[in-house]
Structure 1
Amino acid sequence: MAREQQKRSSGTELGRFLRARRTEVSPEEVGITAGPGLRRTPGLRREELATLAGVSIDYYARLERGRESHPSPAVLDALARALRLGDAEHKHLHDICLRAARSRSPCQGAPSRSVDPGTELLLERLRPFPARVLSRTMDLLAANPGGLRTLAGIERWPVKQRNIARYVFLHPMARELFPDWEVTTRGCVARLRALAGTDPDAPDLAELVDELLLKSLEFTHLWESYDVRAFAQGHKTMRHPEVGTLTLRYQSLLIEGTQGHRLVTYYALPDTPDYAAMVLLDQADQGHGAIPTEKHPG
């Protein structure tokens, strides 16, 4: 049995999330004076968090152990404040409980991988800006030449294997390409964790997570930290083997009418070295530019 399947059988998603976040908060951060002697518990103790959130120790213990799975929104808000959760983590906490409260819906099959012709045309029109279409689990569904080539070496992988998280953790060129590799890995795991909060039994998510848990110790460590902060915009520096170091800003947009597909676009100001490097990536070896996609029905 894969390690992720074993983890799912030990407690609930809510309990695992609360335990993971509790260990990340020190007593000093919340105004608790640590007593003498060595604390065996990293972060807050259960009773300390219960007191901060204004719930009984027994009730909080039942939440962590999976014996209570329907806390009120007020309790969730109190726990979020006590754990100093950010907006994304706070939402994730509510999403977990909403997902647990809903009755299981019939299986809807695998999410569509198709990209409609209008989006493919948009990818072409965005050139020389690198642009990609990603699935909800970060499969690379379509890209213009720069969008593919900024991920140095991924074009040598089969189309169905091309996934951003898989590339970041398993491709031999990823650590060299991203100077901030640790930050990049946290962003990938956070996006997958957020999806796990709303659809934890999704086959596409489970397959990817199980693979990465088996193949990457770094992924395993980050997956168990339950960090769900995501980044929709910012900048990314790359040490590309063909054009050298370049820094591009990026924007991630949800594509309406899809099952969580996102359009990710990178850009730089004209007449800058970064723009020149970006243009070279768009033009170089264009035989590898377009990647096959499943056509949108109709």
Structure 2
Amino acid sequence: MSADYYTHLERGRERHPSAQMLDALSRALLLSDALREHLFRLAGTVPATRPVETIDPVLRAMLENYSAAPAFVMNAATDILAANAVAEGFFSAYPRLDNLARMTFLEPVSRDFCVDWTWTCQAMVATLRQARARYPEDPRPRCVIDELHTASAEFAELWRSYTVCATTGEPREFVHPEAGALRLTYRSFDMSAAPGQRLMLYQPEAGPTTDALARLRARQFPADDPGCHAPGHGEGAGAYPELVPNPTHPRPRDHIRRRVLAWCLATVALTAVPATAHAEPETCAPTTATTVTAATVPYLDWAENLGFDADGDLWVSRLYRNEVQRYDKSGHVTATVSVASPGAIRLGPDRRLYVVYGDTSLNLLPGAHGSGVVRFDPTAATPVPEVFVDGLAMANGAAFDDAGNLYVADTGSGVVRIRPDATIDTDWTAQARMSGLNGLAVQGNSVYTTAYLTPHGQILRLPIDAPAHPSTVADLSLADDLAAAPDGSLYAATTAGALVRIDAPTHGTCTVLTGGPLTAVAISPEPDHDLLIATGTGDIVRVRR
């Protein structure tokens, strides 16, 4: 590009620059992708899309944190760029998890794994044909196409035939060598911030497929060797072997370690909070831990949260089953209410139960706001949830204050205050904006919340009358949920495997018991005020202090 041409362009004498000229100008001026696109549109043209090959670390973290079903990200050439552990188990019959088209055409196991192998082949050809047309300058799709042309007669024939494959929403059948027959419906989401990338979700049908995937998850996330756990202090058959009161070395499971690593990669910014150096928690007085109810299918029954209704019955959020369950005093399920990805369960001033829904990291994707709070009458013969508030990002913990305001920890935005009339107090909420929150409890004139995505796992205090000035109460690794006890102390359950008692005024902490992962804690009604603990395996444990 000559200096004279650039001068003419700058002064508006050249009204129709070519795409090549605009692209060269973008490179010379070191324009970002957004500015480059704006320049092209000012010139009345659309820029050629540049495929992105790197995975956004927040998206990678979401994949690691999503364990309900197979999920992965692939590029235009069907290279698998990132996958969650369930996807790794789902495709474990293949020698490698690298390129979906290569796996389909070149791996013999594919013919047995995909029941309708012919349809799968047609879908792969259609995907690659679209990629070549959409990204003509990208060499990677061409390389995959050329390789398959040479190595697979089936691919070459389909490529010549121009067979059209409709990507319907019908379930597809697979035969896994360990899990058996599976029926899943897949959905594909284009990543607008990363051209060429697609997020693929394989949603299982309820029933045998869901249970089979749970078994695959259990194989991917093996429990620690039972011989490594010392027996609990409980007596007889009620003792809970995976939760050990007061050991010195908690041992989190491998899938929790992976989750921690993924979140460490996430570029999620937390509002600056004054930090205080705190010592490691000491050991509390001896306690007794017993199982209240055991999971039917470990991990599929993941207990995300729990709470009590006005009659003292226990309710548990089963995150991956998309339901909350009521248990009687004997530990039997007496009611089930459908709630999508349920989180905190809290008894409201009106004696109804308020349940967070949409507690899934998929709601953190751009444009997604599928979270909120529902409420229902727990005494009804068939409780029917109604939406109390919606439009949140990823609601998780929740608690009421004495005035009937509901506070919700939204992982995507901060603490949200909801008035009794279901309107959001926007002025208060704007002062409590921060990312990465999880659990929440209210005590007196303070809101306490867990900053799960910070390196130290902070417990934060937000004064109700000054929410813009949070302070750090304690540093706990992977602090998940909180509960406020009648004696003024706080209890925090951590997915690192510890139940910790916190004295907020003094910042003192002590470990009640360890095991894990622990996901939530609730205080039982009078007179005993025992602690009820939700676990990642799905068991519910009672701790007597």
**TM-score when normalising by structure 2:** 0.31
- CA pair 230-148 structure 1, distance change in 2 beyond 3 A: farther
Instruction: Output the CA distance in 2 between the equivalents of 1:269 and 1:236.
Output: 10
Could you say which residue in structure 2 is the equivalent of 1:143?
83
Structure 1 residues 261 and 228: alpha-carbon distance in aligned structure 2, compared to 1, 3 A threshold: farther
| Alpha-carbon contact 2:52-2:196 (below 8 Å) kept | no
Q: Give the drift of 1:232.
A: 6.6
Structure 2 runs not aligned, ≥5 long: 1-44, 223-253, 269-545
Return closer, same or farther for 1:284/1:226 CA change in 2, 3 Å cut-off: same
Structure 1 contact 115–296 (Cα < 8 Å) conserved: no
- The residue that corresponds to 1:216 in the other structure is 152
Partner in structure 1 of residue 380 of structure 2? none
* Structure 2 residue 210 is the aligned partner of structure 1 residue 275: yes
Q: CA deviation at 1:163?
A: 0.4
Q: For residue 214 of structure 1, report the CA deviation from its aligned partner.
A: 0.7
TM-aligned CA distance change 1:278 to 1:141, over 3 Å: same
Asked if the contact 2:148/2:155 (under 8 Å) is kept, the reply is yes
The superposition leaves residues 95-122 of structure 1 with CA deviations (integer Å, 9 ceiling, x where unpaired) of xxxxxxxx9x9997xx432211221122
1:120, 1:153 → 2: CA distance?
23
Per-residue CA distance 1:1-35 (angstroms, 9 max, x = gap): xxxxxxxxxxxxxxxxxxxxxxxxxxxxxxxxxxx
Q: Is the 8 A contact 2:57 2:267 kept in 1?
A: no
| Cα displacement string for residues 51-82 of structure 1 (whole angstroms, at most 9, x for unaligned residues) | xxxxxxxxxxxxxxxxxxxxxxxxxxxxxxxx
Question: Whose strand fraction is larger, Structure 1's or Structure 2's?
Answer: 2
Contact 2:76 / 2:196 at 8 angstroms: preserved in 1? yes
For 1:125 and 1:296, how far apart are their aligned partners in 2? 11
C-alpha distance in 1, partners of 2:81/2:157? 28
Distance (whole Å) between structure 1 residues aligned to residue 162 and residue 138 of structure 2: 18
Count of paired positions: 186
Aligned pairs (5 A) from 1:1-298: 111-154=51-94, 156-157=95-96, 162-229=98-165, 231=167, 233-270=169-206, 272-286=207-221
Q: What do residues 212-262 of structure 1 show as CA deviations (whole Å, max 9, x unaligned)?
A: 011000000001122354527432211100110110112111112102111
Q: Which amino acid aligns with 1:165?
A: A
- Structure 1 equivalent of residue 30 of structure 2: none
Q: What secondary structure sits across from 2:170 in the alignment?
A: strand
Residues 138 and 165 of structure 1 are in contact (CA less than 8 Å); yes or no, is this contact kept in structure 2? yes
- Of stretches 195-204 and 143-152 in structure 1, the one that deviates more from structure 2 is 195-204
**Partners of 1:228 and 1:200 in 2: CA distance:** 20
**Aligned residue type for 1:137:** A
Aligned to 1:68: none
Change (3 A) 1:116 1:198: closer
Contact 2:185 2:202 in 1 (8 A): yes
Unaligned runs of 5+ in 1: 1-102
Structure of greater Rg: 2
Quick one: distance in 2 between partners of 1:261 and 1:208?
Answer: 16
Residues 224 and 269 (structure 1), Cα distance of their counterparts in 2 relative to 1, 3 Å cut: closer
DSSP-derived class of the 1:137 partner: coil
Contact 1:232 1:251 in 2 (8 A): no
- 1:260 is paired with a residue of what secondary structure? coil
Task: Give the deviation of 1:133 after TM superposition.
Answer: 0.6
| 1:123-175 Cα shifts (integer Å, max 9, x gaps) | 13321211011111111111111112222333x43x6xx10000000012101
How far the C-alpha of 1:297 sits from its partner, in A, is 9.8
AA at the equivalent of 2:192: E
Change (3 A) 1:286 1:211: farther
Letter in 1 for 2:210: Y
Residues of 2 paired with 1:118 and 1:142: CA distance?
A: 12
CA distance in 2, matches of 1:213, 1:135: 19
Which residue type is aligned with residue 148 of structure 2?
A: L
In 1, Cα distance between equivalents of 2:138 and 2:78: 14
AA partner of residue 150 (structure 1): F
| 4+ residue runs over 6 A deviation | 105-108, 287-290, 295-298
What letter corresponds to residue 197 of structure 1 in structure 2?
A: A
Structure 1 pair 190–242 and aligned structure 2 pair: CA distance change class (3 A):
same
Aligned to 1:94: none
| CA separation of 1:151 and 1:285: change in aligned 2, threshold 3 A | same
Greater relative CO, 1 or 2 (CA 8 Å, sep 6+): 1
Change (3 A) 1:123 1:275: same
Residues 176, 142 of structure 1: alpha-carbon distance in 2 compared, 3 angstrom cutoff: same
Q: Does the CA-based 8 Å contact 1:133-1:143 persist in structure 2?
A: yes
Change (3 A) 1:297 1:126: closer
